[in-house]
Amino acid sequence: MTRSSTPTLVVVGAGVKAVAVAAKAAVLREMDIAVPRIVAVERTAVAANWRADGGWTDGQHRLGTSPEKDVGFPYRSSLVPRRNAELDERMTRYSWQSYLIGTNQFAEWVDRGRPAPTHKKWSQYLRWVADNVDMNVIFGEVQRISVDSGANGQRWAVHTADQCVDGDGLMITGPGQPERSILPGNPRVLSIAEFWHRAAQCELIAAERVAVIGGGESAASMLNELFRHRVSTITVISPQVTLFTRGEGFFENTLFSDPTGWTGLTLDERRDALTRTDRGVFSARVQEALLSDDRIRHLRGRVAHAVARDGRIRLTLSTNQGAERLETVHGFDLVIDGSGADSAWFIPLLGQDALDLLEIGLGGPLTADALQDAIGYDLAVTNVTPKLFLPALSGLTQGPGFPNLSCLGLLSDRILGADIGAGTEPDDTADRATRRSDEHQPVR
């Protein structure tokens, strides 16, 4: 196989981040600027996690952030000296508003007061962008990730059941697997995917005491849905002191849209900002609904153990009380395990060679915390070649907007601005850095 001078960036998952990076790469290519070839490997469909079949929503719930935080937001590129304004202007062709105009929905959206779109409508927008930039998607579930060593250096090898896609860089996306459950197979315990499957089938849940484990965005969406079901009490279980409301004022929002200044904060200051604005907090819209519904209670603790007994699920909660650890047992008729979101979900897919590569780069054992601490400016793990981009773990070191939808245009700049190399002969390097190449890396 002859190696081309165009490096390949493989993206696990054809969701929001893959679409944002593919759109920016397509625009840069149009401007005759060399960029890696982007190949997304997707288990179901583009933007699947925003539709009922992805398992994270029934598609009918609404986006929490503004849709104007689209694939190019905040339209403040700093990737191509003297041509950034042109880049941003070209990117506006893939904006939320261009989508509405292009599909004849703009006037109605404005007249209705610019409502937050449903998750399904958001997925339609993302698919429109992917189609318009001719995004390269290979369908198959990624089951294993390894590292191939060759004469030109090391490359990522991303394996599905029937093929292997090679890349000079690898980006992992997605919130994890919604099928996770503390008691798999028990009909009184629903995973996130099982819960949304029922909601999508318009199946009404009828239960006396329901527990929702988790205090994050996916638990908030499920609570929003549970309101209309026949349940007597809903207990939200999370380790936080209480159910905090996300600050959505100008100053909090700015932290997400603009990471400038984030790295100037101490780690303690950053952690404090994240707990106030991001981790385990509910949006103001969900909190308003919670306020008016007296069925909802909060229970502080981590679920240490779950067991089915006498037609109920008994959850053992562990809580810190000063220096002591307290364990309490609570019984429920139905438990919804909303704790499936895990930004390090891909670790079990890594082969031994990939684990070794990462542990050498990290200088110690591979953990989610170690990865998080090692994410550099380009959103990749520092000291690891070939590059591994982990935007979902980049909040602490690079800015709280990178893991979500808050600054997708900056995310694509950081990733496409990274040098992922191509394992090419040295004389190809200058060409790759400055000129466009139409050669395509064959996908095995």
Ligand X SMILES: Cc1cc2nc3c(=O)[nH]c(=O)nc-3n(C[C@H](O)[C@H](O)[C@H](O)COP(=O)(O)OP(=O)(O)OC[C@H]3O[C@@H](n4cnc5c(N)ncnc54)[C@H](O)[C@@H]3O)c2cc1C
Does 63 participate in binding ligand X (rule CB under 6 A)?
yes
Contact residue for ligand X among 23, 25, 35, 48 (CB under 6 A) = 48
The neighbour count for residue 42, using CB atoms within 10 Å, is 24
Q: Within positions 173 to 192, which residues make up the interface with ligand X, using CB under 6 A? A: 173-175
> What kind and span of H or E run contains 303?
strand 302-309
Contact residue for ligand X among 65, 84, 124, 318 (CB under 6 A) = 65
Binding range to ligand X, per CB under 6 A, among 71-79, 284-292, 363-371, 400-408: 400-408
Q: Within positions 360 to 389, which residues make up the interface with ligand X, using CB under 6 A? A: none
Does 168 participate in binding ligand X (rule CB under 6 A)?
no
Does 443 participate in binding ligand X (rule CB under 6 A)?
no
What stretches of 151-228 adopt beta strand conformation (E)?
Answer: 153-159, 164-167, 169-172, 189-191, 206-213
> 3-state DSSP call for residue 251?
helix
Contact residue for ligand X among 4, 5, 8, 49 (CB under 6 A) = 49
Does 16 participate in binding ligand X (rule CB under 6 A)?
yes
Does 405 participate in binding ligand X (rule CB under 6 A)?
yes
What is the number of residues in the chain?
Answer: 444
Structure tokens at 200: 């999508």
Structure tokens at 156: 């990522």
Could you write out the DSSP letters of every residue in 14-77? -SHHHHHHHHHHHHHHHTT----EEEEEESS-TTGGGSGGGSS--S-SBPSS-TTS-TTTT---
Give the helix ranges, DSSP H, for 134-189: none
Q: At what angle do helices 16-30 and 119-132 cross, to 10 degrees?
A: 30
Contact residue for ligand X among 4, 8, 17, 87 (CB under 6 A) = 17
Does 142 participate in binding ligand X (rule CB under 6 A)?
yes
Count, residues near ligand X per rule CB under 6 A: 31
Does 197 participate in binding ligand X (rule CB under 6 A)?
no
Asked if 166 and 149 touch (Cβ cutoff 8 Å), the reply is: no
Binding range to ligand X, per CB under 6 A, among 6-14, 198-206, 288-296, 303-311: 6-14
The neighbour count for residue 326, using CB atoms within 10 Å, is 11
> 3-state DSSP call for residue 140?
coil
Q: State the minimum distance, in angstroms, from the CB of residue 247 to ligand X.
A: 14
> 3-state DSSP call for residue 270?
helix
Structure tokens at 277: 């604005």
Does 277 participate in binding ligand X (rule CB under 6 A)?
no
Does 217 participate in binding ligand X (rule CB under 6 A)?
yes
Binding range to ligand X, per CB under 6 A, among 2-10, 24-32, 44-52, 377-385: 44-52
Burial-class residue 34 by CB neighbours within 10 Å (0-12, 13-18, 19+): middle
In the complex with ligand X, the residue whose CB is nearer, 34 or 137, is 137
Asked if 164 and 156 touch (Cβ cutoff 8 Å), the reply is: no
Q: State the minimum distance, in angstroms, from the CB of residue 392 to ligand X.
A: 6
Burial-class residue 148 by CB neighbours within 10 Å (0-12, 13-18, 19+): middle
In the complex with ligand X, the residue whose CB is nearer, 44 or 233, is 44
Residue nearest to ligand X (CB): 15
In the complex with ligand X, the residue whose CB is nearer, 64 or 421, is 64
Binding range to ligand X, per CB under 6 A, among 29-37, 214-222, 297-305, 377-385: 214-222
Binding range to ligand X, per CB under 6 A, among 7-15, 145-153, 262-270, 368-376: 7-15
Does 199 participate in binding ligand X (rule CB under 6 A)?
no
Question: Applying CB under 6 A, which residues contact ligand X?
Answer: 12-18, 41-44, 48-49, 54, 56-57, 63-65, 141-142, 173-175, 217-218, 221, 392, 404-406
